[in-house]
A and B are shown apart, each in its own frame.
Chain A
């Protein structure tokens, strides 16, 4: 237990000690929120879809979580490069404990990121329909965080160095975000885009957040929860397996 705690704490300390990372990882979601929220708001309104900022905020929260979570998972590559990974790998603790501690740490950091975006959104006028559902919202945020930290860990376990990082950003993280319904409604999309969105786990996260905050689910709250939980469990298992196979 102590072991998991200290691994968790390390992730938090690292995150909050890096001012550049803190500001950088908030900057992007906020830019999207302001530029798209206020820029496309009037068009969205005229199309009869209601308030775009209301619609967009859950997507931006998910975005903040996604980026931070993947990054936290991928941090293993840094640890490998700067040698610290060895220190944990030769310690008399199981690989699973290391994986759990790190993943919970990364997920916590990502969740804090999501909550920060939520607070800023509330300050600029976002309204939660039913405040009683807030705990459910946190559960969804945590599931998204856990899912993508595990994904980051799985990827980092098979990469040797940072050369692949740009590829991951361009061909995984960005598509996950843009093709998730974070920015646009999934109703009435061309078949291909709709298909991609339906197989994208982030779509269910965004949808779940919409379901509990603005009452606007596409897949339905229960489906969102089910799909997210199953994929999270699956990725945790894959991540643990790949992590346990690391050799240095």
Chain B
């Protein structure tokens, strides 16, 4: 379903993704793990047509994102790591906007929006502007929106960041149901190792732009003689804390975010 061969992404002064290869089978739940700044989000951006690779061949549902961006986009849905809602629209309008962009028929759209907003417990607030929402509420809305159309591949970039355990659990159950019932392939990143251990069939760990290891959580644990995936992860990637490279736009975003608080 996802085939990546020798993918490299260079920005002017550093290599974010360095010659990585992996593949994800149809119907699989695949976790893409790594410390901050390891290249996870850059990889997702390339897979989802937002960035062009410097080198390498990618196939998404049989399409090449560089040459056939429109066909590629029809194959997947995504929940981004950072906010991507329109603050000046209501929760319902954000959902509806998405539904129309993804050409979901009106009846399905209406019933699914209701179902999902109830699911993330935002139905009572559906007519409120998103700018009045708390961080957790925005995150839930973002996930509900990502699940609105049922794509062949679902990319989740740290989907449950900042959510409480109840909500995380709740959302993972939904994703697993979707995976089981509609054979949706799930590609996700997370910093919660327990999430990856519980949900992922296979895991790849990326560090400094290179894939360090890939396999089932069990394989990774036995390879490092660790009792949990978290220990295996630390054994493979070391314990020092990473600084993330910050581009101009991210700096701006952080600045704006900081001021709005």
- Same complex for A and B? Answer yes
Interface residues, chain A, CB within 8 Å of chain B?
2-3, 6, 10, 13-14, 17-18, 80-84, 86-94, 160-163, 247-248
Partner of A81, one of B51, B98, B253: B253
Does A86 lie within 8 Å of B84, measured CB to CB? yes
Name the one of B82, B96, B102, B249 contacting A161, with C-beta atoms under 8 angstroms. Answer: B249
**Contact, CB under 8 Å: B101 / A82:** no
Whether the Cβ atoms of B249 and A92 lie closer than 8 Å is no
The reply to whether the CB of B125 lies closer than 8 angstroms to some CB of chain A is no
CB pair A13–B82 under 8 Å, yes or no, is: no
B82-A92 in contact (CB<8A) = no
Complex-state Cα separation, A244 to B172, whole angstroms: 35
* Contact sample, A vs B, 13 pairs, CB 8 Å cutoff: A6-B96, A81-B249, A82-B83, A87-B80, A87-B85, A89-B50, A90-B50, A91-B98, A91-B102, A93-B73, A160-B249, A248-B45, A248-B51
Chain B, range 104-122, C-beta contacts under 8 Å to A? none
* Chain B residues whose C-beta falls within 8 Å of the C-beta of A17 in the assembled complex: 88, 129
Count, chain B residues at interface, CB 8 A: 35
Q: Given A90-B49, A248-B51: A14 and B102 within 8 A (CB)? A: no
| Smallest Cβ-Cβ distance to A88: which chain B residue | B101
Chain B residues with Cβ below 8 Å from A84 are 84-86
Distance in Å from the Cβ of B68 to the closest Cβ of chain A?
11
CB distance from B116 to the nearest CB of A (A): 16
Q: Which residues of B contact A3 (CB under 8 A)?
A: 100-101, 103
The reply to whether A10 and B86 contact each other, CB–CB distance below 8 Å, is yes
Q: Is residue B5 within 8 Å, beta carbon to beta carbon, of the partner chain? A: no
B63-89, CB < 8 A from A: 70, 73-74, 76, 78, 80, 82-89
Give complex CA distance A162, B89 in Å. Answer: 22
In the assembled complex, the Cα of A161 lies from the Cα of B249 at a distance in Å of 6
Q: Please determine whether A92 and B103 come into contact, CB atoms closer than 8 angstroms.
A: yes
Residue of A nearest to B101 (CB): A91
Chain B residue nearest in CB terms to A18 = B88
